[in-house]
Amino acid sequence: MEAQRDFRSYRIGEVAERLGVTTRTIRYYEELGLLESRGDRRKGGHRLYDAAAIAHLQQVLKLRDLLGLSLESIVVLAEAEVSRAALRDTWENDDPSECDRLRILEEAHPLITRQLELVHDRQVTLSRFARELRRTLRQIEQRRAALQARSGAA
């Protein structure tokens, strides 16, 4: 069913390139506590990221780019992702209690719902903007046609 899971670790440069940001951005998010800094540094102090961490970062970037949220509000809204990532991480390994699983799921639900609401609001606003632009475009075309007709008749 599921493709082979990705257990590789990625270095910060690889992650940055894949997600279209600079390494500075990733380090800055870590400073802010946006990324679960798992202290997963190899000997040289190099940061390492697994598939779950990358997915989480990608989610943060979407909230930033598509909704224009401040990093402060993303901290709140992306808790869901952290919990879910933690859950996914340990789902089979550490075998968390069913209570823990349930708790994480019930915390994540309203946060994902909130994200979906914000996306819908933005979709509505964008539709209105698009309609307005099309109206402007039609107006321009009509005026141009009118001008050309007049100069042709003169």
Partner DNA sequence: TTGCTCCTCACGTCACGTGAGGTGGC
Q: Is 23 in the site for DNA (CB under 7 A)?
A: yes
Q: Which stretch binds its own copies (CB under 8 A): 2-10, 13-21, 34-42, 113-121?
A: 113-121
| x/- letters, 14..43, toward its own copies (CB under 8 A) | ------------------------------
Tokens (6 digits) for 110: 């309203």
- State in angstroms the smallest separation of the CB of 13 from DNA: 2
Q: Is 55 in the site for its own copies (CB under 8 A)?
A: no
Instruction: Give which of 91, 25, 21 is closest to 52, Cα–Cα.
Output: 91
Residue showing tokens 């082979």:
4
| C-beta neighbour count of 64 within 10 angstroms | 19
Q: Which stretch binds its own copies (CB under 8 A): 16-24, 39-47, 71-79, 115-123?
A: 115-123
The dihedral through the CA atoms of 89, 92, 97, 102 has a sign that is: positive
Q: Is 84 in the site for DNA (CB under 7 A)?
A: no
The dihedral through the CA atoms of 85, 86, 90, 96 has a sign that is: negative
Residue showing tokens 């919990």:
83
Point out which residues bind DNA (CB under 7 A): 11-14, 21-25, 27-29, 32, 41-47, 64, 70-72
